[in-house]
């Protein structure tokens, strides 16, 4: 080994989305518009703290008596309440015998813990959708897995490639880990239909593939219940699977990093063994998860009056994004718009629209119009407003003409 120890190192490029955020922050133009990073913004384009969160924090501040470490598995009330939110109250009571859950530092932490456990138990290969959230392949590669991609969205036809996805899954070997997004797919906003999920479930069972759900946007699509339909359908089947969920988005708690990992097993005996394994991995990675964000979520979900306020706020966020999609679609000059991805703008759910813009068009948006979107053309719908949509449309028309 050569010394000095680090002399051979060269800088790793900054994550593209965080690089964009840094560029946006230093852009001196007053009229700049940020449509890149996946943050929900209100009509004032502010990521404000929810009223339900503020009230929960006031309650916690008045009752909090310690800053002790949480257990490795995290806040028990948080896990219980989020379990009910994800799986349904009745289903959660039934599934608890075979389901273990731990609190993690965000859904990224949950993906990393789940990935490490799977590779330690022989899960060598993972596949993610093409396209997907850029961090998916990074996380599973760092866990030591070989990561591939399954066809998901056809940019030429601006439509989902379910038949190609299904045929690809048929070729996978037993034990392959398949990362799935049950709603508000990032970056396309497009999701399979229920009958397609049912077909996949049967195939996964017969091929013995392992489903790993990334459930980051519950409530941002149709509603809390509909967005969780796929998770609950697969859970009822008895299949073994993992579910990662984030409460950063739907509670607006981005900096607090509340996340959870649930593992559905075959029996209570297996559940106990898996929980001990997750605790060991969590201990090695971060020892114990952060307390405050999970406490806020637990307080809101276990207090009926706060939960009612939160659900109204979440419905308002979801409604706003649907209206922004509709407004942008209606105001685009469809005859002049050369891109092919308009169906996903109209039919998609959640925060994101994959616009189909090419890299040179993305650069022109940023350089000439101070409009920031990701290099792959993903637009954060929540960064739009009735005030800035006309300028965004004008810029789009220019760069594609």
pLDDT digits (tens, 9 = 90+) for 358-381: 999 999 999 999 999 999 999 999
CB under 8 Å to 377, separation ≥6 — which residues? 354, 355, 356, 357, 358, 361, 362
pTM of the model: 0.95
Q: Is 154 a catalytic residue?
A: no
The catalytically annotated residue of 92, 133, 192, 197 is 133
Binned at pLDDT 50, 70 and 90, residue 97 comes out as confident
The catalytically annotated residue of 34, 214, 227, 310 is 214
Identify the top-confidence range among 4-18, 186-200, 333-347. 186-200
User: Looking at the predicted structure, is the pLDDT value of residue 1 above 60?
Assistant: no
16-49+317-400: which CATH topology?
Answer: 3.90.1150
Q: Is 249 a catalytic residue?
A: yes
Report yes or no: 184 and 191 within 8 Å, Cβ to Cβ.
yes
DSSP β-bridge partners for residue 261: 102, 244
The catalytically annotated residue of 34, 192, 197, 249 is 249
CA dist 198 and 193 (Å) reads 9
User: Looking at the predicted structure, is the pLDDT value of residue 3 above 80?
Assistant: no
Give residue limits of the domains in the chain. 16-49+317-400, 69-302
CA dist 148 and 171 (Å) reads 13
Report yes or no: 184 and 351 within 8 Å, Cβ to Cβ.
yes
- pLDDT at res. 306: 98
- pLDDT at res. 158: 83
Task: Report residue 310 as tokens.
Answer: 């939160």
CA-based nearest residue to 256, from 57, 34, 100: 57
Beta strands in 225-374 (DSSP E): 241-246, 258-264, 352-354, 371-372
In angstroms, how far is the first alpha carbon of the chain from the final one? 56
Q: Measured in whole angstroms, how far is the alpha carbon of residue 308 from the centre of its chain?
A: 24
69-302: which CATH topology?
Answer: 3.40.640
Tell me how many degrees the CA angle 341-344-345 measures, rounded to the nearest 5: 90
CA dist 392 and 381 (Å) reads 11
CA dist 18 and 293 (Å) reads 22
Is the bond leading into 187 cis (omega within 30 degrees of zero)?
A: yes
> How confident is the model over 104-163, as pLDDT tens digits?
999 999 999 999 999 999 999 999 999 999 999 999 999 999 999 999 999 888 889 999
More confident of the two residues 197 and 157: 197
CA dist 31 and 241 (Å) reads 46
Q: Is 376 a catalytic residue?
A: no
Q: What share of the chain is helix, strand, coil (3-state, %, to 5)?
A: 50, 15, 40
Task: Report residue 225 as tokens.
Answer: 């219940």
**How many helices (H) and strands (E) in the chain?**
16, 13
In this prediction, residues 306-324 reach a mean pLDDT of 97
What is the overall mean pLDDT for the chain? 94
Tell me how many degrees the CA angle 317-323-324 measures, rounded to the nearest 5: 90
Other C-beta atoms closer than 10 Å to the C-beta of 399 total: 18
């Amino acid at each position: 080994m050569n010394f000095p120890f680090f002399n051979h190192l060269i800088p790793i490029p900054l994550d593209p989305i965080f690089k964009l955020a840094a560029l946006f922050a230093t852009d001196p133009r007053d009229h700049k518009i940020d449509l890149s990073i996946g943050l929900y913004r209100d009509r004032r384009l502010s990521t404000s703290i929810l009223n339900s969160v503020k009230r929960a924090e006031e309650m916690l501040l008045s009752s909090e008596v310690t800053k002790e470490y949480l257990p490795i598995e995290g806040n028990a009330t948080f896990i219980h309440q989020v379990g009910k939110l994800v799986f349904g109250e009745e289903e959660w009571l039934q599934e608890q015998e075979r389901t273990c859950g731990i609190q993690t530092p965000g859904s990224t932490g949950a993906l990393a813990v789940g990935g490490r456990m799977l590779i330690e138990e022989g899960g060598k290969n993972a596949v993610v959708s093409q396209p997907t959230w850029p961090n998916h392949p990074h996380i599973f590669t760092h866990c030591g897995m070989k990561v591939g991609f399954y066809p998901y969205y056809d940019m030429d036809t601006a439509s989902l490639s379910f038949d190609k996805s299904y045929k690809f899954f048929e070729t996978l070997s037993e034990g392959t880990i398949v990362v799935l997004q049950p709603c508000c797919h990032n970056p396309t906003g497009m999701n399979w239909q229920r009958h397609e999920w049912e077909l996949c479930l049967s195939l996964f069972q017969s091929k013995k593939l392992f489903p790993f759900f990334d459930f980051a946007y519950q409530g941002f699509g149709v509603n809390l219940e509909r967005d969780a339909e796929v998770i609950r359908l697969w859970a009822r089947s008895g299949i073994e699977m993992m579910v990662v969920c984030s409460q950063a988005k739907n509670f607006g708690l981005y900096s607090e990093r509340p996340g959870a990992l649930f593992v559905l097993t075959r029996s209570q005996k297996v559940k106990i063994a898996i929980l001990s394994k997750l605790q060991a991995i969590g201990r090695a990675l971060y020892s114990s998860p952060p307390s405050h964000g999970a406490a806020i979520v637990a307080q809101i979900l276990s207090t009926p009056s706060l939960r009612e306020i939160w659900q109204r706020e979440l419905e308002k966020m979801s409604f706003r994004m649907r209206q922004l999609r509709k407004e942008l679609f209606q105001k685009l000059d469809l005859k002049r718009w050369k891109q092919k991805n308009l169906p996903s703008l109209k039919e998609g759910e959640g925060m994101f629209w994959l616009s189909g813009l090419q890299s040179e068009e993305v650069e022109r948006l940023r350089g000439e119009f101070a409009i920031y979107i990701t290099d792959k053309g993903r637009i954060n719908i929540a960064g739009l407003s009735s005030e800035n949509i006309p300028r965004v449309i004008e810029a789009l028309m220019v760069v594609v003409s």
